[in-house]
Amino acid sequence: MVIAAVVAVAGLWYSSDQARDDRALAKEGQITDRYTAAVGNLGSDKTDVPLGGIYALQRIMQDSRRDHPTIANVLATYIRTHAAKPAPRSQDVTADIQAALTVLATRDPAHDGAFRPDLRDAKLDSVELGSESLVSPAALGGADLTGADLGSAFLSGANLRDANLSLAQMTYADLRRADLRDADLSSTFLDGADLPGANLSGADMTSTKLGEADLRGANLRGANLRGADLDDADLRGADLRGANLRFTSLRGTDLRGAKNVTTADSTYVNSGTRLP
């Protein structure tokens, strides 16, 4: 009887384990089918079909952490290939690009693994990824946005830490309170951009164009501003401790109330420069 009981328990354990494995396989098969259908929708010429595919991929990303990096890469590739050309004049980015960007920017980066958003040269003029339209800050840390067009983009509060924005077009972009620590902003066009309260500590801003930019209260500690153009910019209350200002142009720049400003002999100033 003891042997029979042991056999019965072992049988129950095996059946339970087998049932669990069967359920896992069935779930995996369902996710695969959903993924295949969603990716297929991305290639449709109809306006609303790709949107459905994008939101379907978002749900799969939430349901399957294992597939999170793959889906994030699919979305980044979709954005990069479909936003390779500027939107028609007077029009913002298309609905599918905005949706894909929103899904990508609101993902949980804790599940990214080795994934980093690759959005090089994407034309994303006036895209809306600011704190006013998202529940949490846009997760674009470490993103490659080299040469991207982000003119007039709404990126307030965005996490762009360690992002590569070299040569990007970001004139009049809204970057209030954005996290740009250690970002590569070399030769980036930020003329007229809004950067109050932005954290730019350690950023590479070599030869960056910041004419008439608003940098009030910005953290520029340790930033490399060598050769940057800050003509007529507003840096009132900004912290420039350890910032490299060699060959930096500060003509007409307002630095009243700025902290730790140490200009070099090669820093360009004029009668319109307002020093602390």
Q: What is the pLDDT of residues 2-14, one digit of tens each?
A: 455 444 444 554 5
Q: What is the CATH code for 124-276?
A: 2.160.20.80
For the chain, domain boundaries = 2-111, 124-276
- Taking residues 203-217, report their average pLDDT: 98
Closest by CA position to 177, among listed 161, 193, 195: 195
Q: How far apart are CA 59 and CA 133, in angstroms?
A: 20
- Nearest 10 degrees: CA dihedral of 105, 106, 110, 111? -90
Query: Given CA atoms 82, 105, 69, 167 in this order, what sign does their dihedral have?
Result: positive
pLDDT score recorded for residue 45: 86
Phi, psi of 265 (to 5 degrees): -60, -25
Lookup result for tokens 């939107």: 87
- Taking residues 68-90, report their average pLDDT: 87
Residue 257 tokens read as 């109330």
- Range of lowest pLDDT (6-20, 80-94, 187-201): 6-20
Do residues 235 and 213 touch, judged by C-beta distance below 8 A? no
Residues 6+ apart with CB under 8 A from 26: none
Residues 6+ apart with CB under 8 A from 135: 106
- Range of lowest pLDDT (79-93, 183-197, 200-214, 215-229): 79-93
| Residues above pLDDT 70, as percent of the chain | 88
- Taking residues 125-149, report their average pLDDT: 92
Residue 82 tokens read as 């479909």
Do residues 126 and 93 touch, judged by C-beta distance below 8 A? yes
Amino acid letter, 119: L
- Taking residues 196-219, report their average pLDDT: 98
Dmax over Cα atoms in the chain, in whole Å? Answer: 102
Residues 6+ apart with CB under 8 A from 217: 196, 197, 236, 237, 238
pLDDT score recorded for residue 53: 95
pLDDT at 229 over 90: yes
| Residues above pLDDT 90, as percent of the chain | 77
Neighbours of 31 (CB within 10 A): 15
- Taking residues 243-267, report their average pLDDT: 97
pLDDT, tens digit, for every residue of 6-50? 444 445 545 555 555 445 445 565 778 889 999 999 989 887 899
Look over the chain and give the mean of its residue pLDDT values, rounded to a whole number. 90
Q: How far apart are CA 17 and CA 23, in angstroms?
A: 10
pLDDT score recorded for residue 28: 63
